[in-house]
Amino acid sequence: MALNPLVDSRDVRFVLYEMMDVLQLTKLPKYSSFDKDMFEDMLNLAETMAVEQIYPTFAEGDKEGCHYDGATKKVSIPKCYHAALDAFYEAGFGGMDVSDEWGGMGIPQVISWACNEFFCSANYPLLMYPGLTHGAAELIEAFGTEEQKHMYLANMYSGKWGGTMCLTEPDAGSDVGALKTKAVRQPDGTFKIYGQKIFISSGDNDYYENMIHPVLARIEGDPPGTKGISIFIVPKYRVNPDGSLGEFNDVTCAGIEHKMGIKGSATCTLSFGDNNNCIGWLLGQERQGMKIMFKMMNYARMGVGLQAHGCASAAYMHAVTYCKNRVQGVHVTQMLNPEAKGVTIINHPDVKRMLLWMKSYLEGQRAMIYYLYLNYELAQLLEGEAAKEAQALVEIITPIEKAGCSDMSVLITSEAMQCYGGYGFVADYPVEQMMRNSKITAIYEGTNGIQSMDLTMRKILMNPEQYNYTVLKKRMQQTIDKAKGVVEDKYVALVERGIQKLDEVIEMMKQQMASGQFLHLFANATPLQQAMYMLVIAWMHLWSLSITMPKMKELVGDKKGEERAALLKDNAEAAFYSGKVLASQFYLGAEFPKYFGKIEALLSGESAVIKASEEIFTGALNE
Amino acid sequence: MATGVMSLNPLVDTRDTRFVLFEVLGVDKLTQYPRFADFDKDTFEDVLNLAETIAVEQVYPANMEGDKIGVKYEPDTKRVILPECYKPALQAMYDAGFIGLVNDPEIGGMGMPQAIGQCCTEFFTAASVAFSMYPALTIGALNLIKNFGTQEMKDLYIPKMITGQWTGTMCLTEPDAGSDVGNLKTKAIRQSDGTYKIIGQKIFISGGDYDMPENIIHPVLARIEGDPPGTKGISIFIVPKYRVKPNGSLEFNDVICSGIEHKMGIKASATCTLNFGDNGDCIGWLLGQERQGMKIMFQMMNEARLYVGLQGLAVSSAAYMHAIKYARNRVQGVDVTQMLNPDAPKVTIIKHPDVKRMLLWMKSYVEGMRLLTYYVGYQEDLVHVLDGEAKKEAQAMIEFLIPITKAGNTDNAWKVTAEAIQVYGGYGFCSDYPAEQFARDAKILSIYEGTNGIQSMDLTMRKILMNPEQYNYTVFKKRVQETIDRAKGIVDDKYVAIVQKGLEKVDTVVNYLKDQMAAGKFLHIFANATPLQQALSMFTLAWLHLWMLSATQPKMKEIVGDRKGDDLTVLLADNSEAAYYTGKVLSSQFFLGAEFKKFFGMVDYILDGEAAVVKANEYIFTGAPLE
């Protein structure tokens, strides 16, 4: 299989075909015209594009960054991004999962997102341009009138026009209901839009011919808070009936942010209606803005988890290559031998530990992410209980995936830099940029604190009969049952115990809920999410180990020592499965025990956080 | 301790520094010893206040600007340009005598305790990580000369270095010699007059060259031609940028900066590549004996590693303090108990449980790290004033805790600074706000001065398993047990019990590793070195929190009594001592009651004996290109 510096291609196939059995989708009417060869073509094409067209823009785009011209109020994105985006769209990736009615290829979600893993690991800030466009187009596809769909979709999926998500304002971040942008009803059914939005990725740029902004705003007279929010389509240039671009629609970029990372992404402040001439078209029903936006948000959250994961995957892969080449120090067993020669650092136990740690999280995450996308699709394609269960898994895993992958990305990119040593901190090497890019994923698209609240309250405690949690446990139990006798007992027992412990925590929280101890629940939301993330990764590893352990035994048999080393060196499959087994054993046997410490922290009932008030955070300035 | 309101600054909780120094460590008691008899608490206060003032008023304002401008290199002139805003700040620090703060009065220092020095350095470093490295490296180079130089060398270099007129560096690293410093190639060729010609290239030299000092003094590790390879053959030389002629004038000594690094952070620190002897005219003077380079450098290593640990504490403190201020002012959302009330007023985010959790988490780590770092500095003072067993024990604690301080504080620094960005939300990611710079500055700390992997090996092997009779570890346990015994009856049982249980677990782990050592399972030990260090670092903070709680719990009870609800809130808002001690108690209870539980999972990582790391070899890391 091809080797690339971004994503383990062999592992992508393992997860898709050997774990998730995505070919099951081809048995469904929607995908009956697809087969494995077609999936492979897409994946290979995506990999080639990621490595040859997108990855070369990674360093350059960060160095050049975006520029804002105060005189023209225009934003220019890194020059190298243009050709890369052209290639991306020409190959059809802008709408790969979209219906051919809108010019898409209509491939399954899980395949399209496996392709996205390659793209995100290559340079995820670049992917935000088509990513947001795709998201905005989907909103229109799901909630727009036929007229709106015909006016916008084809051009958006083809990359001629771009899209954004306009929610945030200076005083409305996590509290989006506090937004002030207003919509004033016009006699012809349109609305005049007035307001300012900030942190709008791709808000203005010199790539797309037009920008289509879905904007959350409050119709004058509608109530405050989230209940009063509607959503409007606000193009940068109004579109004529014949599809040509019309008048400038009074959407101005007032500036861009200078950021720690994702410098190639144009993060804009947009002013709507500075000249009283900004028109918006209602999308869906009045005062349904939040409900509509949530559909996009859930999907976007899954996407952020993948961005973070891709970023971390690239960092890990670079670290592996670096460690295989950097000579430094002798083998630790030769430390007292003055004749000993220097070895590559991948031979040092502490370096192997760091790499195996990264590998184990990334492989667990890959399985979780693909599983999430598979179920996202199954929820739409299946019927009855099967569809409900798939949806339940999507509900409960989405916040875990978004928060977990983004928090891990910050730690994995840091550990990758640690493998590089001093050179890792130097800007000539790519890892420091990966670190800088990682942190925003824990913040946008709903901070991880928000994800944790969503998981704890909406997805578990307030979910009728805890249906989502019940389905999750059912699936985990199925994996445990299949693993018995195939995987060593100690690993199975750990996951079983993990579920039991989680049950204890959920019970405790249900009681706290019943007795109105809301502060305790909110203080424990993030600790719960962090623990559940570890458990889901453990579950994925147990599932994986059930498959890889027999395979490895088949290929490697009883070989030990030199014989085994020789086999692993020459036989790619033997090396792959051995690596998979070791990563899973490492996660379950060494890393996962830390989960139980997190559980004990949750069960401890330590109430210091509750008792803390703002006054006790002493020492700092008041303003 | 005066109950007056202590100054507030954006970097370090000043009140907490005094708590650690005087209420926990009792640093003022050092004045009973001859070495420190000239001082009293007031003099210490004066110095601490001066450091805080300079740090806040001069250094801190230069931090963001220095990062934006960065150090610049002119290839034509080979000049390195320091951001202009740094120069007056450095000069203010030098003029106030801070380079020689803890150094011998005989050489022009102030002779203050190390513990006081740690606090002053915390202020300067929190104000700007990059800034503080300039004087720190000068101090290190100066100390090398003081401890190992001839009288002539000392007379020639120290007076100007202690004033900052001349500065210093540490020249070890080369492109193929990082962790494996013995692999270095820089060579020294014996000259007939007793000097050496130096030829070689060093990289990553902080402060290696820049346009402020009149001269830069480089201690350079090099191999005398003919000497053996590896660490055994290394000598150390003093190589000034300008050599001093008999008439006092300066002559260029063929030390050229051939470039600087562009880095993720500490951008205002000049990270240089230095070429020695490009023109065959670079002279070095042997420091100490031939082939004693490593031994000499090692004596400085403790000091340097403690300093990096302090950098980890300081940048975490600055990030945390900024996060508090932001959370106190940023209005967003309603009180969580009012979520269903459409008329509920918006509140500042410091009211939200999840934000309080993040802040309390940061507070507990910053406060634990502060006591740890000052404690180690204080042990160095004790080594100077005590005798016999007491002196040995203080030294043992230093040996044991240095790798823990360096690795633990710096691993925490990346996490704390990242969490501070999280508190800021989207704005935290924007360069107009200071949070993201703290994080960018923090990551190098786990890498330089010996990567944390190296620290972990040092702790596991040299400081524990290969330490005769595990003396260091025995003393550590003794100290911990003393704290546990003193805490009984003062601190809630559950907190005492958890540290006791933790100590038992530490013993179990150390015995487990001793068994592996005896069985020759070196690969297992090396694979477990970092996990051991991480567990011990966490345990050390738990010990220190128990110690602090023994002091703060009674104080809080005294001031707060039985007050609850609104009564309590009013008191906390009005009485800064009540707020301070309450915060301390909650911080320690949070760490011991919740966070420390994770330690037991970290211990199980080791005890469960998973051998995957040992079984892994380079071939199983599949997927990535070979080159």
Question: Is there a contact between B531 and B513 (Cβ–Cβ < 8 Å)?
Answer: no
**pLDDT for the residue numbered A471:** 98
B274 close to B209: Cβ distance less than 8 angstroms = yes
Contact B196, B290 (CB under 8 A): no
Closest among B259, B322, B305 to B445, alpha carbons compared:
B305
**What is the interface size between A and B, counted as CB pairs within 8 Å?**
383
Specify whether A117 is located in the same domain as A195.
no
Chain B contact present for A320, CB below 8 A: yes
Q: Which of these, B384, B327, B330, lies nearest to B356 by C-alpha position?
A: B327
Residues A165 and A140 in one domain: no
* Structural domain ending residue among the three candidates A158, A190, A215: A158
CB contact under 8 A, A596 and B604: yes
> Using the beta-carbon criterion (under 8 Å), do A349 and B360 form an inter-chain contact?
no
Q: Which residue of A has its CA nearest to B585?
A: A608
- A328 in B contact zone (CB under 8 Å): yes
Q: What single string gives the DSSP state of each residue in A495-528?
A: HHHHHHHHHHHHHHHHHHHHTT-HHHHHHHHHHH
Q: Is this complex scored with an ipTM above 0.90? A: yes
Which residue out of A262, A616, A623 would a mutagenesis test of the B interface target, given it has the greatest number of B Cβ atoms within 10 Å? A616
- Residue count of chain A, please give it: 623
Are A212 and A233 in contact, with CB atoms under 8 Å apart? yes
Distance (Å, whole) CA A301 – CA A43 = 23
Interior CA angle at A67 toward A61 and A70, to 5°?
175
The predicted pLDDT at position A498 comes to 98
Q: What are phi and psi of A598, to 5 degrees?
A: -65, -40
Q: Which residue of A has its CA nearest to B230?
A: A338
Q: Which residue numbers of A are catalytic? A: 445
Please indicate, yes or no, if residue A388 is contained in any of the structural domains: no
Chain B touched by A598 (CB under 8 Å): yes
One domain for residues A150 and A165: no
Question: Parallel, antiparallel, or unpaired: how do β-strands A229-235 and A279-282 relate?
Answer: antiparallel
Sign of CA dihedral A86, A91, A95, A101: positive
Residue A326 lies in a domain: no
Polymer length in residues for chain B: 627
Q: Nearest C-alpha of chain B: how many angstroms from A219?
A: 18
Determine whether the interchain pair A427/B8 forms a contact, defined as Cβ–Cβ distance below 8 Å.
Answer: no
Structural domains of chain A, count: 3
Distance, in angstroms, between A134 CA and closest chain B CA?
A: 23
Measured between beta carbons, which residues in chain A are less than 8 angstroms from residue B593? 604, 606, 608
Q: With CB atoms and an 8 Å threshold, state whether A449 touches B625.
A: no
DSSP letter string, B319-368: HHHHHHHHHHH-EEEE-GGGTT-TTPPEEEGGGSHHHHHHHHHHHHHHHH
Strands (E), A548-605: none
What does the pLDDT read at residue B3?
38
DSSP B140-192: HHHHHHHHHS-HHHHHHHHHHHHTTSEEE--B--BTTBSS-GGG---EEEE-T
Segments of chain A with pLDDT less than 50: none
Please say whether the beta carbons of A352 and A528 come within 8 A. no
Pick the closest to residue A542 from A589, A604, A611 (CA basis): A589
From the list A257, A328, A359, the residue facing B180 with the nearest CB is: A328
How far apart CA A273 and CA A289 sit, in angstroms, is 20
A173 and A151 in a common domain: no
Q: Under an 8 A CB cutoff, do B261 and A426 touch?
A: yes
Listed by number, the residues of chain A in 403-462 with a beta carbon closer than 8 Å to a beta carbon of chain B are: 410-411, 414, 417-418, 421-422, 424-428, 432, 435-436, 439-440, 442-444, 447-449, 452-453
Alpha-carbon gap: B159 to the closest alpha carbon of chain A (Å): 33
CB contact under 8 A, B582 and A317: no
Answer yes or no: do A134 and A171 share one domain. Answer: no
- Tell me the three state secondary structure of residue A141: helix
The whole-angstrom separation of Cα A138 and Cα B81 is 52
What SS3 string covers A382-442?
Answer: CCHHHHHHHHHHHHHHHHHHHHHHHHHHHHHHHHHHHHHHHHHHECCCCHHHHHHHHHHHH
Q: Same domain, yes or no, for A235 and A285?
A: yes
State which residues form the domain around A239: 161-291
How would you class A23 by CB atoms within 10 Å of its CB: exposed for 0-12, middle for 13-18, buried for 19 or more? middle
Cβ of B360 and A609 within 8 Å? yes
Nearest by CB to A356, which of B336, B452, B616? Answer: B616
Give the closest residue to B20 by CA, choosing from B534, B598, B587, B597: B587
How is residue A551 written in tokens?
């395979």
Do residue A207 and residue A102 come from a single domain? no
Chain B residues lying within 8 Å of A3, measured CB to CB = 623-626
Sign of the CA dihedral B588, B590, B593, B599? negative
Q: Which residue has the tokens 């009485």?
A: B575
pLDDT one-digit tens code per residue, A544-592: 999 999 999 999 999 998 999 999 999 999 999 999 999 999 999 999 9
Please give, rounded to a whole number of angstroms, the shortest distance from the CA of A251 to a CA of chain B: 23
CA distance B443 to B456: 17
Cα–Cα nearest to A545, from A483, A592, A477: A483
Task: For residues A28 and A71, state if they share a domain.
Answer: yes
Say whether A616 and B583 touch across the interface (CB within 8 A). Answer: yes
Asked if A523 and B354 come within 8 Å (Cβ–Cβ), the reply is yes
Same fold, B14-72+79-162 and B166-294: no
Whether A565 has its CB under 8 Å from any CB of chain B: the answer is: yes
User: Could you tell me if A464 and A514 lie in one domain?
Assistant: yes
Q: How many CA atoms lie within 13 A of B393 on its CB side?
A: 11
- Kindly tell me the burial class for residue B486, based on how many C-beta atoms sit within 10 Å of its own C-beta (0-12, 13-18, 19 or more): middle
Q: Which of A174, A260, A327 to mutate to test the interface with B (most CBs of B within 10 A)?
A: A260
**Residue at token pair 């599932």:** A543
- Which among B353, B569, B602 has CB closest to A594? B602
- Is A372 among the domain residues? no
| CATH class of this structure's domain B14-72+79-162 | mainly alpha
- Select the residue of A359, A526, A621 nearest B354 (Cβ to Cβ): A526
> Which residues, 6 or more positions from A211, have their beta carbon under 8 angstroms from its beta carbon?
A161, A162, A163, A164, A202, A203, A204, A205, A235, A236, A251
For residue B234, the surrounding DSSP H or E stretch is strand B234-240
Residue A1: what pLDDT? 56
Asked whether the beta carbons of residue B264 and residue A615 sit closer than 8 angstroms, the reply is no
Name the strand (E) or helix (H) holding A116.
Answer: helix A109-143
Residue in chain A closest to B182 (alpha carbons) equals A329
Residue A77 CB-density burial (10 A; 0-12 exposed, 13-18 middle, 19+ buried) = buried
Residue A431 included in any domain: no
Query: Is A610's Cβ below 8 Å from some Cβ in B?
Result: yes
Per CB-CB distance under 8 Å, the chain A contacts of B587 are 608
CATH number at residue A282: 2.40.110.20
Where in chain B are the domains? Answer: 14-72+79-162, 166-294, 486-627
Long-range contacts formed by A465-472: CB under 8 A, 24+ apart: A466/A506, A466/A510, A467/A388, A467/A392, A468/A392, A468/A393, A468/A395, A468/A396, A469/A396, A469/A506, A470/A392, A471/A389, A471/A392, A471/A393, A471/A396, A472/A392, A472/A393, A472/A396, A472/A397
Nearest CB to A11: which of B328, B526, B623? B623
In order of A110, A401, A475, A543, B328, the CA distances from A468 in angstroms are 21, 15, 11, 20, 36
Taking CA–CA distances from A1, the nearest residue in chain B reads: B623
- Enter the tokens of residue A261: 């990372």
Q: Does A561 touch chain B (CB under 8 A)?
A: no
Which of A247, A274, A291 delimits the end of a domain? A291
A515 in a domain, yes or no?
yes
Residues A197, A234 contacting (CB under 8 angstroms): no
Task: Flag whether A405 is in a domain.
Answer: no
CB-based contact B86:B268 (threshold 8 Å):
yes
Residues A171, B331: C-beta atoms closer than 8 Å: yes
Cβ of A597 and B623 within 8 Å? no
User: Which tokens in the block code for residue A402?
Assistant: 């978004």
Chain A residues touching B261 at Cβ < 8 A: 426-428
- Looking at the domain assignment, is residue A589 inside a domain? yes
* Same domain? A108 vs A69: yes
Q: What is the CA radius of gyration of chain A?
A: 25
- The C-alpha atoms of residue A547 and residue A553 are separated, in whole angstroms, by 11
Q: Is residue A432 part of a domain?
A: no
Task: Name the stretches of chain B with pLDDT < 50.
Answer: 1-5
- Domain B166-294 fold: Butyryl-CoA Dehydrogenase, subunit A; domain 2 (2.40.110)
Distance of alpha carbon B69 from the chain centroid: 25
| φ and ψ of B172, to 5 deg | -115, -50
Is the same domain home to A512 and A601?
yes
Q: Which residues contact A84 (CB under 8 A, 6 or more apart)?
A: A53, A54, A56, A57, A123, A126
- Which residues of chain B neighbour A449 with C-beta distances below 8 Å? 352, 354-355, 358, 422
